[in-house]
């Protein structure tokens, strides 16, 4: 364990987050998601999507140079629906300073996930507990732990 790092963040997940560059994407998905479609799979079977999202957003800067840095999969039967889990994910995004997630069609979401740096499969069992995040940069004027004053 490390001081200041959420214990939910496994070594594999921390490694993936650190390896990602600006513009790279990471996808957090529910337990039913076909995660075999991705390039790299990291499992967090004991975590809900909101718990995993909160832990990751504590380390991941938002890409402010793209239109939709957070995307969710639309409900197949009702693209305008906002499932409870999506509302909860949007609250976590807002608390971390990210914009509200934009809905994308199911197969477009799959295509985005297939090119993402990693897929993080949680134990979330609620449908549509999926979010794609685009990593931004950390500005030089942001004070980081260990920086000399």
Question: Which residue in the list 6, 22, 68, 75 is annotated as catalytic?
Answer: 22
- What pLDDT score was predicted for residue 99? 98
Question: Catalytic: which of 30, 33, 63, 117?
Answer: 63
**Mind giving me the DSSP string for 29-83?**
E-TTS-GGGSSSEEEETT--HHHHHHHHHTTPPB-TTSS-SEEEEPPSS-TT---
Whole-angstrom distance, CA of residue 43 vs CA of residue 65:
29
**pLDDT for the residue numbered 20:** 97
- 110 is an active site residue: yes
For residue 90, the model assigns a pLDDT of 98
Indicate the pTM of the whole model: 0.93
Q: What is the pLDDT of residue 69?
A: 98
- Per the CB < 8 A criterion, the answer to whether 30 and 130 are in contact is yes
Q: Which of 110, 117, 128, 147 is catalytic?
A: 110
Quick one: pLDDT at residue 86?
A: 97
- pLDDT score for 149: 63
Q: Is residue 147 annotated as a catalytic residue, yes or no? A: no
pLDDT attached to residue 147? 74
Q: Residue 139's pLDDT is what?
A: 80
CATH architecture observed for domain 19-134: 3-Layer(aba) Sandwich (3.40)
19 is catalytic: no
Domain ranges of the chain: 19-134
Q: d(Cα 73, Cα 128) in Å, to the nearest integer?
A: 6
Which pLDDT does position 83 carry in this prediction? 96
Tens of pLDDT along the chain (149 residues) come to 788 899 999 999 999 999 999 999 999 999 999 988 888 999 999 999 999 999 999 999 999 999 999 999 999 999 999 999 999 999 999 999 999 999 999 999 999 999 999 999 999 999 999 999 999 998 888 776 777 76
């Amino acid at each position: 364990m490390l001081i200041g790092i959420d214990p939910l963040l496994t070594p594999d997940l921390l490694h993936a987050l650190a390896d990602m560059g600006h513009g790279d994407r990471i996808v957090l998905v529910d337990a039913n998601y076909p995660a075999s479609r991705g390039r790299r799979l990291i499992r967090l079977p004991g975590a809900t999507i909101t718990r995993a999202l909160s832990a990751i957003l504590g380390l991941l800067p938002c890409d402010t140079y793209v239109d939709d840095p957070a995307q969710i999969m639309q409900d197949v039967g009702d693209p305008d629906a906002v499932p409870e889990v999506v509302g909860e994910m949007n609250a976590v995004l807002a608390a971390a300073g990210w914009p509200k997630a934009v809905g994308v069609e199911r197969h477009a979401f799959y295509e985005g996930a297939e090119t993402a740096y990693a897929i993080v499969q949680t134990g979330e069992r609620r449908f549509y507990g999926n979010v794609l995040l685009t990593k931004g940069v950390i500005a030089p004027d942001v004070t980081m732990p260990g920086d000399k004053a």
